[in-house]
């Protein structure tokens, strides 16, 4: 297993297309669709590959769509461990209206996992060695309980590895109760965690440390949109402004940012550079069309500009 393992319980086939304009009750002519493997952890692994790194993608898949999903993963040349389940891998539809340049994202539900199926993910991690970082990203599949995070955190700890969590709502709150290495909430999610109506850049550090000091995490990366991002620990913090670019799409920006952070962490970079590289990766994803993630040429250009 590679140094980084990504975990995706709710993988998806992302089908993207372009139409001239959206109108009700009309047959809408679409462009040739593009198919890509998706889901939070999968996208992190894909972005890591684009950055010249390696990871192991651990995911569940099922049905004829699951077979197609595995073909898509193989094309990405990512080290993969596929765990079967008695259902189907979901499909998402992303439609770009070229007349307005607005994007519509339709997320479909996947199958419901049985206990032995999601436990197979934990067993794989328990029986594997060599990974230093485990990252779980995106929504959990139906049927996966919040206690999944308790067992996941314990297994990763026993392996002397570090758990990175990029999720939201109840799952994020529960993960922090378990105690993890790094989380990446946005301002709204951090506000909810702290039980306050609103946060801004002036009180982010205090809010983050209220969670860090309780043992929720060691590092918190807070994405703040146009204001950039902050990386906070118990003793230091770093703020990086978002570079000004012409944005085409925000799809994959968060996953690209997580990928950049992980690549930088495995290289032992100082925290300031870790955050800069993560922001560069997230920004690079926004200047590409549709569902494209970051590419290393854009990342290096943006990162060098930030120095």
Q: Which residues contact 259 (CB under 8 A, 6 or more apart)?
A: 43, 44, 45, 47, 48, 50, 51, 53, 281, 293, 294
- 3-state DSSP call for residue 66? helix
**What is the per-residue pLDDT for 193?**
87
Reply yes or no on whether the pLDDT at 50 is more than 80.
Answer: yes
DSSP 139: P
Q: What is the pLDDT of residues 181-228, one digit of tens each?
A: 999 998 889 988 888 877 877 789 999 999 999 999 999 999 987 788
pLDDT score for 102: 87
Query: Domain tally for the chain?
Result: 1
Average pLDDT, the chain: 92
Q: Domain residues for 13?
A: 4-20+30-306
Task: Say whether pLDDT at 248 is over 80.
Answer: no
For the cut 80, the answer to whether the pLDDT of residue 109 exceeds it is: yes
pTM of the shown model: 0.94
Q: Give the rounded percent of residues in the chain with a pLDDT score beyond 70.
A: 99
Query: Residue 167: inside a domain, yes or no?
Result: yes
* Domain-located, residue 141: yes
Specify if 119 maps to a domain. yes
The end-to-end CA distance of the chain, in Å, is: 33
Establish if 25 belongs to a structural domain.
no
Task: State pLDDT tens for residues 73-95.
Answer: 999 999 999 999 999 999 999 99
Beta strands in the chain, from DSSP E residues, in sequence order:
4-8, 12-19, 34-38, 56-61, 79-84, 90-97, 102-107, 133-137, 162-166, 180-183, 217-223, 229-232, 237-240
Catalytic residue among 14, 166, 255, 298: 255
Handedness of CA 166, 5, 88, 31 (dihedral sign): positive
User: What's the rounded Cα separation, in Å, for the pair 279 and 224?
Assistant: 11
Q: Give the HSE-up count for residue 17: Cα atoms under 13 Å, Cβ half-sphere.
A: 14
CATH code of the domain in which 169 resides: 3.40.1190.20
Q: Is 298 a catalytic residue?
A: no
| pLDDT on residue 294 | 92
């Amino acid at each position: 297993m590679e140094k980084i393992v990504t975990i995706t319980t709710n993988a998806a086939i992302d089908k993207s297309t372009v139409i001239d304009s959206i109108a009700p009750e009309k047959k809408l002519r679409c462009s040739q669709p593009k198919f890509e493997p998706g889901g939070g952890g999968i996208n992190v692994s894909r972005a890591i590959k684009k950055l010249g790194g390696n990871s192991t993608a651990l995911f569940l898949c099922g049905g004829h769509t699951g077979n197609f999903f595995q073909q898509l993963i193989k094309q990405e040349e990512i080290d993969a461990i596929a765990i079967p389940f008695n259902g189907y891998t979901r499909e998402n539809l992303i439609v770009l209206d070229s007349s307005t340049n607005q994007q519509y994202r339709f997320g479909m539900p996947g199958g419901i996992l049985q206990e032995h199926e999601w436990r197979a993910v934990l067993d794989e991690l328990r029986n594997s060695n060599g990974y230093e970082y485990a990252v779980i990203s995106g929504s959990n599949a139906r049927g996966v309980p919040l206690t999944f995070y308790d067992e996941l955190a314990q297994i990763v700890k026993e392996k002397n590895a570090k758990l990175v969590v990029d999720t939201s709502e109840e799952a994020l709150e529960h993960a922090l109760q378990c105690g993890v290495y790094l989380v990446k909430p946005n301002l709204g999610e951090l506000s909810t965690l702290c039980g306050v109506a609103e946060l801004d850049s002036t009180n982010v550090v205090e809010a983050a440390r209220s969670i860090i000091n309780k043992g929720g995490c060691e590092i918190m990366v807070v994405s703040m949109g146009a204001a950039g991002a902050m990386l906070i620990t118990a003793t230091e913090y770093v703020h990086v402004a978002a570079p000004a670019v012409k944005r085409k799409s925000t799809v994959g920006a968060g996953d690209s940012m997580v990928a950049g952070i992980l690549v930088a962490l495995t290289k032992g970079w100082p925290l300031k550079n870790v955050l800069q590289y993560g922001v560069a990766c997230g920004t690079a994803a926004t200047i590409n069309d549709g569902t494209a993630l970051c590419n290393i040429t854009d990342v290096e250009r943006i990162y060098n500009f930030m120095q």
